[in-house]
A and B are shown apart, each in its own frame.
Chain A
Amino acid sequence: MIPGVKKIGPYQWEVPVGYVPDMKVPGRFFLSDELAPTLEEGAVRQLANVATMPGIVRNSLAMPDIHWGYGFPIGGVAAFDMQNGVISPGGVGFDINCGVRLMTTPLTEKDLPGKRDLIERLFGAVPTGVGAKSTRRLSSKELEGMLQSGAEWAVEQGFGIRQDIDRCEENGCMDRTDLSAVSGKARQRGMPQSGTLGSGNHFLEIQVVREIIDEDAASRFGVEKGQVCIMIHCGSRGLGHQVCTDHLKVLEGAAKKYGIRLPDRQLACAPVNSPEGKAYFGAMAASANYAWANRQIIMHTTRDVIGKMFHIDEEEMPLVYDVAHNVAKIEEHMVDRHKMTLCVHRKGATRAFGPGSPDLPPDFRTVGQPVIIPGSMGTSSFLLHGTAAAMELTFGSTCHGSGRVMSRSSAKKKITGQEVKAALAREGIIVRAHSDSAIADEAPEVYKPSEEVVRVVHEAGISRIVARLEPLGVIKG
């Protein structure tokens, strides 16, 4: 383990105050001994840097998919006091409300002898990759609807059914939006990209539920063994990226104005209740709504393709849940037996609210929130549920994915996209992308094993495994 870091439990480690100057609280992260060699010093330093920010409550936290990012580490979680605390785009990232949704179908594997045809049809219907544009041109009014009302706007436009809205974190729509804080540049970028997947690690995957671990929770979530499901991973596209860029500049000036000293410029921030902090929150919330509407449109397109191919109604393809993993939220949490309102940042981390949370739909309230953890192209994805332990230890948060262990340049030197495709084809997994380079970048070998990351959050109790899904076919962004 990296010098200076202490083990404080079977899966918990502490970065003590003093690891970097001006830390206000210790850092804590979750990791197994098996994953310990994957930890980078840069990620630990970033975790410690977050602990220097004003108003941070309890700990700067990281999940077992922790890795070196910019500003916060990826997998980072931090909560800030609403009176003395700050809000920072560095704790959310450029891709605001990058997230994942899982939809079930009535199909099983034996219904998919023509799997390649399905992949091709989906690849033709969902715009993917660098420079992809939507076939729909939004008007300014439509874009405002998307920013204001998120998934609800999409359903009102005919992209989905009412039940979808209840199955999204925040019902697919954050309030406290401030559309005046979304620049013309951001709008210009968002206008042609509704319903597009993007590139990088974004994907649309056909999966099969291979194993049920918690029968009761699976039944509540409407998931059963052998079922074919669709997982969609993407975010707020160029609009969210521009909002982050625009407000980073404003908040840099604000940090100086409010006398906040920072160890990394990417942690630029302002008091949550300052005009600059409120403007960022309002623009970020609007971007999060764009992302929810975007995933809703992509799911609708997917349902349309599957519906026509297999003669299934959209009601037979319910959404299990949609989670955000790059976002800041105003939430209430118990801290030292007192209820506090906090600004919780999750950057590459998933909300994992436990049983009884009023923020969950009534039929999930006894189980806890569905948590969706994607694997990489060749590895399992998981459905979990949130826990009371997560509420106590991590402000109701858990991991968001596998976490990279290899740079893109190393990945390309070690393996080609064609080789990855051929290796996955031998396992019956079809991969479709616009470029081989996009496939090499995201080869299964570049990620920590998803099973081990999920085992850590399960054993640490900050979420519990419900089901394991295996990939059958992937559309890469």
Chain B
Amino acid sequence: MTFVELEHTADVMIRVSARSYEELFLEAARALMTVMYGATAEGTVCCDVNVDSADQEGLIHDFLSEVLYLSEVNSIVFFSGTVRIQDNTLSGILCGGTFDPEKHRGGSEVKGISYSGLKIVKEHENYILDVIFDV
């Protein structure tokens, strides 16, 4: 697992780590799915994702907000994907399996992605993200 849950009283605070900046976004999306559904789902249902933001923190915030929206309206639990990031613009594709109430009700509905406490740092060879999900 490339994310851990940190202590936060009201909401869910997670720390995600990845070897590359792009991978950090995909790992964060997988963490979001795990918090929401208690699991991810391998599958071949895919969606395009496109986000344009003012800065690095804005981009991860807006990307995760978009993942939340795409997952809810398309009933997809995302597992994998590819993203390209250039100058705080992201485009890519996310894939996963269809939401199954029998398998995917082990988590907590995430209401939104918070800016409070959000940060991305690079430590040695790893990118590390701290982010709070409002549940």
Contacts and interface: CB of A to CB of B under 8 A. Distances in A.
Interface residues of B, number: 40
Contacts, number: 116
A273 B78 CA distance: 41
Nearest to B117: A70
A236 to B, nearest CB: 10
A277 interface: no
A395 interface: no
Contact of A245 (B9, B75, B113, B135): B113
Contacts of B106: 435, 437
B109 A408 contact: no
A129 B105 contact: yes
B38 interface: yes
Nearest to A249: B62
Interface in B57-105: 57-58, 62, 65, 68-69, 72-73, 75, 99, 101, 104-105
B114 A435 contact: no
Interface in B1-41: 5-12, 36-38
Nearest to B62: A249
A407 interface: yes
Contact of A40 (B5, B9, B62): B9
Interface size class of A (residues with CB under 8 A): 35 or more
Q: Interface centre among A242, A268, A410, A441, by most B CB within 10 Å?
A: A242
A130 B12 CA distance: 16
A188 interface: yes
B10 to A, nearest CB: 5
B38 A198 contact: no
A193 to B, nearest CB: 9
A445 interface: no
B69 A70 contact: no
Contacts of B11: 69-70
Interface of A: 40, 46, 67-71, 74, 93-95, 129-131, 185, 188-189, 198-200, 238, 241-242, 244-245, 248-249, 252-253, 264-266, 268, 404-410, 434-435, 437-438, 441, 477
